[in-house]
Amino acid sequence: MNLRLYTEFGTLKRVIMHRPGWEIERLTPQNTSELLFEDVPFLEAMQKEHDEYTKLIKDVTDAKVYRLRQLLLDILVDEHLKNSILKDALSQANQRNISEDIISTYSTAEIINLLISGLRVNEIKKKLPNFKNSELKEENYLIYPSPNLYFMRDPAAVIQNGVISSNMKYSGRQFESHLLKLIFTNHPEFKNFYHEVFPGDSKTNDCPTIEGGDVIVISPKVLAIGCSERTESRAIQKVAKRVLTERTVERVYEVKLPSKRNFMHLDTVFSIIDENLIVTYPEAMDTLLETFVYKLDSVSDNNEIKIHRESIKKSLISILKLEIPHLEVVKTGYGDPDFASREQWYDGANVFAIGPRRVISYDRNKLTNRALRDNGVEVLEIDSSELSRGLGGPRCMTMPIERKII
Protein backbone atom coordinates (compact mmCIF):
# COMPACT_ATOMS: atom_id res chain seq x y z
CA MET A 1 0.00 0.00 0.00
CA ASN A 2 1.24 3.50 -0.79
CA LEU A 3 -1.82 5.75 -0.24
CA ARG A 4 -2.00 6.69 -3.92
CA LEU A 5 -4.88 6.31 -6.39
CA TYR A 6 -4.40 6.48 -10.16
CA THR A 7 -7.94 5.59 -11.31
CA GLU A 8 -11.50 5.65 -10.02
CA PHE A 9 -12.27 2.14 -11.27
CA GLY A 10 -9.30 -0.15 -10.61
CA THR A 11 -10.34 -3.19 -8.61
CA LEU A 12 -10.79 -2.12 -5.00
CA LYS A 13 -8.16 -3.39 -2.55
CA ARG A 14 -8.55 -1.23 0.59
CA VAL A 15 -11.25 1.16 1.75
CA ILE A 16 -12.22 3.04 4.92
CA MET A 17 -15.89 3.10 5.97
CA HIS A 18 -17.92 4.20 8.97
CA ARG A 19 -21.01 2.38 10.22
CA PRO A 20 -23.65 4.93 11.31
CA GLY A 21 -24.14 4.97 15.06
CA TRP A 22 -25.67 6.97 17.89
CA GLU A 23 -24.73 10.24 16.17
CA ILE A 24 -27.71 9.64 13.84
CA GLU A 25 -30.02 9.63 16.86
CA ARG A 26 -28.94 13.20 17.56
CA LEU A 27 -30.96 14.32 14.54
CA THR A 28 -34.35 15.90 15.20
CA PRO A 29 -36.79 17.75 12.92
CA GLN A 30 -35.51 20.95 14.53
CA ASN A 31 -31.78 20.48 13.88
CA THR A 32 -31.61 18.59 10.56
CA SER A 33 -30.77 21.73 8.60
CA GLU A 34 -28.04 22.73 11.07
CA LEU A 35 -26.56 19.23 10.87
CA LEU A 36 -26.83 19.18 7.03
CA PHE A 37 -29.59 16.58 6.75
CA GLU A 38 -32.94 16.76 4.98
CA ASP A 39 -34.69 14.16 7.10
CA VAL A 40 -34.46 12.04 10.26
CA PRO A 41 -33.34 8.47 9.39
CA PHE A 42 -34.28 5.29 11.27
CA LEU A 43 -30.93 4.20 12.72
CA GLU A 44 -31.50 0.44 13.01
CA ALA A 45 -32.61 0.18 9.38
CA MET A 46 -29.77 2.43 8.32
CA GLN A 47 -27.24 0.20 10.08
CA LYS A 48 -28.71 -2.89 8.46
CA GLU A 49 -28.40 -1.30 5.02
CA HIS A 50 -24.83 -0.20 5.73
CA ASP A 51 -23.88 -3.66 7.02
CA GLU A 52 -25.22 -5.22 3.82
CA TYR A 53 -23.24 -2.69 1.77
CA THR A 54 -20.03 -3.43 3.65
CA LYS A 55 -20.54 -7.20 3.35
CA LEU A 56 -21.18 -6.88 -0.37
CA ILE A 57 -17.90 -5.02 -0.87
CA LYS A 58 -16.00 -7.70 1.05
CA ASP A 59 -17.73 -10.59 -0.70
CA VAL A 60 -17.32 -9.44 -4.28
CA THR A 61 -13.89 -7.78 -4.12
CA ASP A 62 -11.99 -9.41 -1.26
CA ALA A 63 -11.00 -5.85 -0.36
CA LYS A 64 -9.90 -5.00 3.15
CA VAL A 65 -12.52 -2.78 4.78
CA TYR A 66 -11.19 -0.64 7.61
CA ARG A 67 -13.76 0.46 10.20
CA LEU A 68 -13.24 4.01 11.40
CA ARG A 69 -14.00 3.14 15.04
CA GLN A 70 -11.47 0.31 15.06
CA LEU A 71 -8.78 2.53 13.54
CA LEU A 72 -9.41 5.07 16.30
CA LEU A 73 -9.27 2.33 18.94
CA ASP A 74 -5.92 1.21 17.53
CA ILE A 75 -4.28 4.61 17.97
CA LEU A 76 -6.03 6.08 21.02
CA VAL A 77 -4.26 3.68 23.35
CA ASP A 78 -1.73 6.52 23.23
CA GLU A 79 -2.77 8.81 26.11
CA HIS A 80 -1.16 11.86 24.52
CA LEU A 81 -3.12 11.39 21.29
CA LYS A 82 -6.31 10.76 23.24
CA ASN A 83 -5.88 13.97 25.22
CA SER A 84 -4.98 15.96 22.11
CA ILE A 85 -8.01 14.91 20.05
CA LEU A 86 -10.33 15.37 23.02
CA LYS A 87 -9.09 18.93 23.50
CA ASP A 88 -9.66 19.49 19.81
CA ALA A 89 -13.23 18.17 20.07
CA LEU A 90 -13.97 20.26 23.18
CA SER A 91 -12.54 23.48 21.80
CA GLN A 92 -15.70 24.53 19.97
CA ALA A 93 -17.49 24.74 23.33
CA ASN A 94 -14.40 26.27 25.00
CA GLN A 95 -14.11 23.29 27.37
CA ARG A 96 -10.59 22.02 26.62
CA ASN A 97 -9.79 22.06 30.34
CA ILE A 98 -12.00 19.04 31.12
CA SER A 99 -10.26 16.60 28.77
CA GLU A 100 -8.25 14.91 31.53
CA ASP A 101 -11.37 14.51 33.69
CA ILE A 102 -13.05 12.74 30.78
CA ILE A 103 -10.04 10.50 30.20
CA SER A 104 -9.98 9.46 33.84
CA THR A 105 -13.72 8.70 33.85
CA TYR A 106 -14.53 7.20 30.43
CA SER A 107 -13.04 4.15 28.72
CA THR A 108 -11.28 4.53 25.38
CA ALA A 109 -14.25 2.98 23.55
CA GLU A 110 -16.60 5.41 25.30
CA ILE A 111 -14.39 8.35 24.37
CA ILE A 112 -14.52 7.30 20.72
CA ASN A 113 -18.31 7.26 20.98
CA LEU A 114 -18.19 10.78 22.41
CA LEU A 115 -15.89 11.99 19.62
CA ILE A 116 -18.33 10.73 16.98
CA SER A 117 -21.74 10.96 18.66
CA GLY A 118 -21.22 14.06 20.77
CA LEU A 119 -21.57 14.90 24.45
CA ARG A 120 -24.16 17.08 26.16
CA VAL A 121 -23.91 18.90 29.48
CA ASN A 122 -26.65 16.78 31.06
CA GLU A 123 -24.84 13.62 29.94
CA ILE A 124 -21.45 14.51 31.38
CA LYS A 125 -23.06 15.41 34.71
CA LYS A 126 -24.11 11.76 35.10
CA LYS A 127 -20.43 10.79 35.02
CA LEU A 128 -18.96 13.96 36.52
CA PRO A 129 -21.52 15.29 39.04
CA ASN A 130 -19.22 18.16 40.01
CA PHE A 131 -19.12 19.56 36.48
CA LYS A 132 -20.38 23.14 36.55
CA ASN A 133 -20.62 25.80 33.89
CA SER A 134 -23.07 28.65 34.31
CA GLU A 135 -22.82 29.64 30.64
CA LEU A 136 -24.08 26.32 29.27
CA LYS A 137 -27.58 24.88 29.34
CA GLU A 138 -28.29 21.22 30.08
CA GLU A 139 -28.98 20.46 26.41
CA ASN A 140 -25.87 22.24 25.08
CA TYR A 141 -23.15 20.18 23.44
CA LEU A 142 -19.63 20.02 24.84
CA ILE A 143 -18.67 17.85 21.86
CA TYR A 144 -20.75 18.21 18.73
CA PRO A 145 -22.08 15.09 16.95
CA SER A 146 -20.95 14.08 13.45
CA PRO A 147 -23.98 12.46 11.77
CA ASN A 148 -22.47 13.01 8.30
CA LEU A 149 -19.43 10.87 9.12
CA TYR A 150 -20.78 7.83 7.29
CA PHE A 151 -20.11 9.86 4.12
CA MET A 152 -16.45 8.92 4.34
CA ARG A 153 -15.61 10.35 0.93
CA ASP A 154 -15.54 13.96 2.16
CA PRO A 155 -13.01 14.24 5.06
CA ALA A 156 -10.06 13.33 2.81
CA ALA A 157 -9.23 12.24 -0.72
CA VAL A 158 -6.44 9.96 -1.86
CA ILE A 159 -5.10 11.07 -5.25
CA GLN A 160 -2.15 10.35 -7.55
CA ASN A 161 0.57 11.72 -5.28
CA GLY A 162 -0.87 11.58 -1.78
CA VAL A 163 -3.75 12.70 0.40
CA ILE A 164 -5.86 15.84 0.36
CA SER A 165 -6.86 16.46 3.97
CA SER A 166 -10.13 18.31 3.61
CA ASN A 167 -10.93 21.64 5.19
CA MET A 168 -14.70 21.24 5.42
CA LYS A 169 -17.05 24.08 4.57
CA TYR A 170 -19.34 23.80 7.59
CA SER A 171 -18.15 23.80 11.18
CA GLY A 172 -20.35 20.77 11.90
CA ARG A 173 -18.12 18.64 9.66
CA GLN A 174 -14.65 20.04 10.22
CA PHE A 175 -13.88 17.62 13.04
CA GLU A 176 -14.34 14.67 10.66
CA SER A 177 -11.21 15.59 8.72
CA HIS A 178 -9.29 15.97 12.01
CA LEU A 179 -10.15 12.36 12.88
CA LEU A 180 -8.96 11.08 9.50
CA LYS A 181 -5.73 13.04 9.63
CA LEU A 182 -5.10 11.70 13.13
CA ILE A 183 -5.46 8.16 11.77
CA PHE A 184 -3.30 8.71 8.68
CA THR A 185 -0.48 10.32 10.65
CA ASN A 186 -0.45 7.89 13.59
CA HIS A 187 -1.80 4.48 12.60
CA PRO A 188 1.03 2.00 11.88
CA GLU A 189 -0.63 0.85 8.64
CA PHE A 190 -0.71 4.35 7.18
CA LYS A 191 1.76 6.74 8.80
CA ASN A 192 4.79 5.66 6.77
CA PHE A 193 2.90 6.13 3.49
CA TYR A 194 1.13 9.40 4.27
CA HIS A 195 2.07 12.31 2.03
CA GLU A 196 -0.08 15.38 2.55
CA VAL A 197 -0.93 17.29 -0.61
CA PHE A 198 -3.25 19.76 1.16
CA PRO A 199 -3.41 21.90 3.28
CA GLY A 200 0.35 21.70 3.73
CA ASP A 201 1.65 24.85 5.37
CA SER A 202 -1.65 26.79 5.23
CA LYS A 203 -2.63 28.57 8.40
CA THR A 204 -5.91 27.25 9.79
CA ASN A 205 -7.60 30.64 9.89
CA ASP A 206 -6.72 31.35 6.26
CA CYS A 207 -7.10 27.89 4.77
CA PRO A 208 -9.61 27.69 1.89
CA THR A 209 -12.24 24.96 1.97
CA ILE A 210 -12.18 21.74 -0.01
CA GLU A 211 -14.12 18.47 0.36
CA GLY A 212 -13.31 15.00 -0.94
CA GLY A 213 -16.54 14.59 -2.87
CA ASP A 214 -15.33 17.27 -5.28
CA VAL A 215 -12.15 15.35 -6.15
CA ILE A 216 -12.10 12.92 -9.07
CA VAL A 217 -9.07 11.16 -10.54
CA ILE A 218 -9.64 11.33 -14.30
CA SER A 219 -6.52 9.35 -15.22
CA PRO A 220 -3.02 8.79 -13.82
CA LYS A 221 -1.98 12.22 -15.12
CA VAL A 222 -5.23 14.20 -14.80
CA LEU A 223 -7.19 15.42 -11.78
CA ALA A 224 -10.57 17.19 -11.70
CA ILE A 225 -11.87 19.18 -8.72
CA GLY A 226 -15.30 20.73 -8.46
CA CYS A 227 -15.46 24.38 -7.48
CA SER A 228 -18.69 24.04 -5.56
CA GLU A 229 -20.60 25.51 -2.66
CA ARG A 230 -18.15 23.61 -0.44
CA THR A 231 -14.85 23.79 -2.34
CA GLU A 232 -13.18 27.11 -3.07
CA SER A 233 -11.14 28.05 -6.11
CA ARG A 234 -8.21 29.04 -3.85
CA ALA A 235 -8.02 25.48 -2.51
CA ILE A 236 -8.01 24.05 -6.04
CA GLN A 237 -5.18 26.42 -6.99
CA LYS A 238 -3.14 25.23 -3.99
CA VAL A 239 -3.71 21.56 -4.85
CA ALA A 240 -2.90 22.22 -8.51
CA LYS A 241 0.37 23.97 -7.68
CA ARG A 242 1.41 21.13 -5.37
CA VAL A 243 0.66 18.22 -7.69
CA LEU A 244 2.00 19.95 -10.79
CA THR A 245 5.18 20.94 -8.96
CA GLU A 246 5.71 17.34 -7.89
CA ARG A 247 5.27 16.31 -11.56
CA THR A 248 2.86 13.50 -10.72
CA VAL A 249 -0.06 15.15 -12.50
CA GLU A 250 0.09 17.08 -15.76
CA ARG A 251 -3.32 18.78 -15.77
CA VAL A 252 -5.77 19.83 -13.06
CA TYR A 253 -9.29 20.91 -14.02
CA GLU A 254 -11.32 23.30 -11.91
CA VAL A 255 -14.99 22.63 -12.71
CA LYS A 256 -17.44 25.35 -11.70
CA LEU A 257 -20.61 23.89 -10.17
CA PRO A 258 -23.87 25.81 -9.72
CA SER A 259 -25.02 26.38 -6.14
CA LYS A 260 -27.76 23.76 -6.15
CA ARG A 261 -28.36 21.04 -3.57
CA ASN A 262 -28.33 18.30 -6.22
CA PHE A 263 -24.92 19.54 -7.47
CA MET A 264 -23.40 19.47 -3.98
CA HIS A 265 -20.11 17.89 -5.09
CA LEU A 266 -18.56 17.00 -8.42
CA ASP A 267 -19.15 13.29 -7.75
CA THR A 268 -22.91 13.90 -7.72
CA VAL A 269 -22.55 15.05 -11.35
CA PHE A 270 -20.61 12.13 -12.79
CA SER A 271 -18.66 9.01 -11.83
CA ILE A 272 -16.00 7.18 -13.85
CA ILE A 273 -16.67 3.45 -14.01
CA ASP A 274 -14.20 2.27 -16.65
CA GLU A 275 -11.35 3.68 -18.70
CA ASN A 276 -13.82 5.01 -21.30
CA LEU A 277 -17.19 4.99 -19.50
CA ILE A 278 -18.90 7.48 -17.20
CA VAL A 279 -22.37 7.80 -15.71
CA THR A 280 -23.66 11.35 -15.50
CA TYR A 281 -26.60 13.58 -14.75
CA PRO A 282 -27.54 15.00 -18.20
CA GLU A 283 -28.62 18.44 -16.99
CA ALA A 284 -25.23 18.97 -15.37
CA MET A 285 -23.37 18.27 -18.58
CA ASP A 286 -25.39 20.96 -20.32
CA THR A 287 -25.09 23.42 -17.41
CA LEU A 288 -21.40 23.20 -16.57
CA LEU A 289 -19.77 25.49 -19.09
CA GLU A 290 -17.06 27.22 -17.05
CA THR A 291 -13.92 25.18 -16.52
CA PHE A 292 -10.29 26.11 -15.96
CA VAL A 293 -7.22 23.99 -16.54
CA TYR A 294 -3.96 24.31 -14.62
CA LYS A 295 -0.63 23.32 -16.15
CA LEU A 296 2.99 23.71 -15.14
CA ASP A 297 4.27 26.81 -16.95
CA SER A 298 7.90 27.03 -15.94
CA VAL A 299 10.47 26.38 -13.23
CA SER A 300 13.17 29.03 -12.86
CA ASP A 301 16.83 28.43 -12.01
CA ASN A 302 16.10 29.28 -8.36
CA ASN A 303 13.24 26.77 -8.39
CA GLU A 304 10.45 29.34 -8.58
CA ILE A 305 7.32 27.59 -9.85
CA LYS A 306 4.89 29.23 -12.27
CA ILE A 307 1.50 27.65 -12.94
CA HIS A 308 -0.61 28.57 -15.97
CA ARG A 309 -4.39 28.81 -15.50
CA GLU A 310 -6.50 28.86 -18.64
CA SER A 311 -10.25 29.17 -19.15
CA ILE A 312 -11.78 26.53 -21.41
CA LYS A 313 -14.92 27.52 -23.29
CA LYS A 314 -16.27 24.01 -23.63
CA SER A 315 -18.79 21.88 -21.82
CA LEU A 316 -17.56 19.40 -19.25
CA ILE A 317 -18.51 16.50 -21.49
CA SER A 318 -16.37 17.94 -24.30
CA ILE A 319 -13.40 18.23 -21.94
CA LEU A 320 -13.85 14.67 -20.72
CA LYS A 321 -13.94 13.45 -24.31
CA LEU A 322 -10.56 15.12 -24.86
CA GLU A 323 -9.08 13.39 -21.80
CA ILE A 324 -10.81 10.01 -22.18
CA PRO A 325 -10.49 8.47 -25.66
CA HIS A 326 -13.63 6.85 -27.10
CA LEU A 327 -15.70 8.08 -24.15
CA GLU A 328 -19.10 6.45 -23.63
CA VAL A 329 -21.73 8.21 -21.53
CA VAL A 330 -24.55 6.61 -19.54
CA LYS A 331 -27.25 9.09 -18.54
CA THR A 332 -29.08 8.86 -15.22
CA GLY A 333 -32.80 8.09 -15.50
CA TYR A 334 -32.01 6.53 -18.89
CA GLY A 335 -31.99 10.08 -20.24
CA ASP A 336 -35.61 10.83 -19.33
CA PRO A 337 -35.58 14.37 -17.79
CA ASP A 338 -38.18 13.62 -15.10
CA PHE A 339 -36.62 10.34 -13.98
CA ALA A 340 -33.11 11.80 -14.24
CA SER A 341 -34.16 14.62 -11.91
CA ARG A 342 -35.83 12.20 -9.50
CA GLU A 343 -32.93 9.76 -9.44
CA GLN A 344 -30.37 12.55 -9.21
CA TRP A 345 -31.96 13.54 -5.88
CA TYR A 346 -30.95 10.08 -4.65
CA ASP A 347 -27.49 10.22 -6.26
CA GLY A 348 -28.05 8.16 -9.38
CA ALA A 349 -24.68 9.30 -10.76
CA ASN A 350 -22.90 8.64 -7.47
CA VAL A 351 -22.27 4.92 -7.98
CA PHE A 352 -19.22 3.26 -6.43
CA ALA A 353 -16.92 1.47 -8.87
CA ILE A 354 -15.40 -1.64 -7.30
CA GLY A 355 -13.70 -2.66 -10.54
CA PRO A 356 -13.87 -1.91 -14.28
CA ARG A 357 -17.57 -1.82 -15.25
CA ARG A 358 -18.59 -3.14 -11.84
CA VAL A 359 -20.52 -0.75 -9.63
CA ILE A 360 -22.64 -0.64 -6.50
CA SER A 361 -25.77 1.49 -6.78
CA TYR A 362 -28.89 2.31 -4.79
CA ASP A 363 -31.75 -0.03 -5.68
CA ARG A 364 -34.18 2.90 -5.94
CA ASN A 365 -32.45 4.31 -9.05
CA LYS A 366 -34.10 1.80 -11.35
CA LEU A 367 -33.76 3.49 -14.74
CA THR A 368 -30.17 4.52 -14.14
CA ASN A 369 -29.29 0.96 -13.15
CA ARG A 370 -31.05 -0.39 -16.25
CA ALA A 371 -29.13 2.03 -18.46
CA LEU A 372 -25.86 0.91 -16.88
CA ARG A 373 -26.67 -2.78 -17.42
CA ASP A 374 -27.64 -2.10 -21.03
CA ASN A 375 -24.15 -0.66 -21.46
CA GLY A 376 -22.43 -3.79 -20.18
CA VAL A 377 -22.00 -2.74 -16.56
CA GLU A 378 -22.44 -5.19 -13.71
CA VAL A 379 -24.70 -3.38 -11.24
CA LEU A 380 -24.93 -4.63 -7.67
CA GLU A 381 -27.82 -2.99 -5.84
CA ILE A 382 -28.12 -2.14 -2.15
CA ASP A 383 -31.15 -1.16 -0.09
CA SER A 384 -31.38 2.60 0.22
CA SER A 385 -34.49 3.55 2.14
CA GLU A 386 -32.54 5.09 5.06
CA LEU A 387 -28.97 5.56 3.82
CA SER A 388 -30.21 7.86 1.06
CA ARG A 389 -31.86 10.26 3.52
CA GLY A 390 -28.53 11.97 4.07
CA LEU A 391 -28.43 12.78 0.33
CA GLY A 392 -25.30 10.88 -0.53
CA GLY A 393 -24.77 7.78 -2.65
CA PRO A 394 -22.61 4.65 -2.52
CA ARG A 395 -19.49 6.54 -3.65
CA CYS A 396 -20.03 9.10 -0.89
CA MET A 397 -19.94 6.38 1.76
CA THR A 398 -16.46 5.12 0.92
CA MET A 399 -12.87 6.31 1.14
CA PRO A 400 -10.80 4.11 -1.19
CA ILE A 401 -7.15 4.13 -0.24
CA GLU A 402 -5.84 1.46 -2.61
CA ARG A 403 -6.94 0.08 -5.98
CA LYS A 404 -5.30 -2.31 -8.39
CA ILE A 405 -3.08 -0.34 -10.76
CA ILE A 406 -4.30 -0.70 -14.34
Domain boundary among 91, 124, 143: 143
Residue 47 is assigned to a structural domain of this protein: yes
Mean model confidence pLDDT for the chain: 92
Q: What is the DSSP string of 308-357?
A: EEEEE-S-HHHHHHHHSTT-EEEEGGGG-HHHHHHHHHTTTT--EEEETT
Same domain? 90 vs 137: yes
Residue 51 has pLDDT above 90, yes or no: yes
Q: Which among 139, 86, 92 has a CA at the least distance from the CA of 116? A: 86
Q: How confident is the model at residue 66 (pLDDT cuts 50, 70, 90)?
A: very high
Same domain? 200 vs 110: no
Domain of 111 in residue numbering reads as: 71-143
Same domain? 276 vs 345: yes
Residue 27 is assigned to a structural domain of this protein: no
Same domain? 248 vs 377: yes
Gap between the Cα atoms of 289 and 278, Å rounded: 18
How does pLDDT run across 281-294, given as a tens digit for each residue?
Answer: 987 776 666 899 99
Same domain? 139 vs 155: no
Residue 180 is assigned to a structural domain of this protein: yes
Domain boundary among 97, 118, 143: 143
Q: State the Cα angle at 44 between 41 and 48, rounded to 5°.
A: 105
> Residue 283's pLDDT is what?
77
Residue 7 is assigned to a structural domain of this protein: no
Same domain? 307 vs 235: yes
> Residue 335's pLDDT is what?
85
Catalytic site residue from 157, 285, 320, 396:
396
State percent of the chain over pLDDT 70.
96
Same domain? 131 vs 275: no
Same domain? 162 vs 268: yes
Instruction: Look at 136 and 120; give whichever has higher pLDDT.
Output: 120
pLDDT, mean of residues 115-119: 97
Residue 6 is assigned to a structural domain of this protein: no
Q: What is the CA radius of gyration of the chain?
A: 21
Residue 110 has pLDDT above 70, yes or no: yes
- Give the CB-side neighbour count of residue 11, counting CA atoms within 13 A: 7
The Cβ of residue 19 has, within 10 Å, a number of other Cβ atoms equal to 15
CB 253 within 8 A of CB 336: no
Q: How confident is the model at residue 35 (pLDDT cuts 50, 70, 90)?
A: confident
Domain boundary among 97, 127, 143: 143
Which residues pair with residue 331 across a beta bridge? 280
> Residue 215's pLDDT is what?
98
Residue 227 among the catalytic residues: no
> Residue 203's pLDDT is what?
55
Same domain? 348 vs 309: yes
User: How many angstroms separate the Cα of 194 from the Cα of each of 161, 180, 375?
Assistant: 10, 11, 37
> CATH number, domain at 197?
3.75.10.10
Counted domains in the chain: 2
Residue 1 is assigned to a structural domain of this protein: no
Same domain? 48 vs 116: no
How does pLDDT run across 304-346, given as a tens digit for each residue?
Answer: 778 999 999 888 888 999 999 999 999 999 988 888 888 888 8
